[in-house]
Amino acid sequence: MHCWDVSAENFLSGNSWTNGIIYGRLNWSSKEVKTYKCDILMPLEILLINGPNLNMLGVRQPEVYGRSSLKDLRILCEREAGLLGLSIDFRQSNAEGDLVSWIQGARGSADGIMLNAGALTHSSIALLDALASAEVPAVEIHMSNIHRREEFREKSYVSLCAAGMVCGLGSYSYVLGLRAIHSILISRQ
Ligand code: CA2
């Protein structure tokens, strides 16, 4: 579908849009108000999932996971997503079933997934199966460097279905993860 050249400024300063149609002036010097058909301008949607115990961030083990709380992390991610033009749906659950259902729901509703599955990373074939059927790219995130810790953390089932993984950089792992998923999605368009 053809898209008229409606600038972001014009878009934000008074024109309305719905269902692929923009009503408004092509530019502000024009007196004429027309209806323009346009490809819908929607931000890329990222489902950002945090798994078990990540609600405890900033509360315990700051030497491993830093002092930021989950709320701090959310604010940081929302700020970075805004800069990248991404919309994020930031979630956390301690229940494996929630994570599986959210990943299943991403198909058709999200453009990409960012996943810190917590300890389920190292054990959950259910999460791996859900990711395998999601048909959207996923980036795996860890606050800690899972390769510098106990041997059982070396194995990641999530990695088998992830486009890539960022670990060991604390909150900054999430920032880099957002940049990575953005770059993956932009290069696909
Ligand atoms: O480094 C990561 O992000 C992990 O995914 C965190 C998981 C761990 O099991 C993975 O091996 C690596 C654990 C999340 C627990 O988070 C807590 C935070 C503060 C206090 C207690 C737990």
CA distance 149 to 63: 13
Identify whether 174 is a catalytic site residue: no
- Is there a contact between 102 and 49 (Cβ–Cβ < 8 Å)? yes
Residue to substitute in 96, 144, 145, 172 for testing ligand 1 pocket (most ligand atoms within 8 angstroms of CB): 144
Task: Please list the pLDDT of the chain residue by residue as tens digits (189 residues).
Answer: 334 444 444 444 333 333 445 555 555 566 666 665 555 667 999 999 999 999 999 988 888 888 899 999 999 999 999 999 999 999 999 999 999 999 999 998 999 999 999 999 999 999 999 999 999 999 999 999 999 999 999 999 999 999 999 999 999 999 999 999 999 999 987
pTM of the model as a whole: 0.82
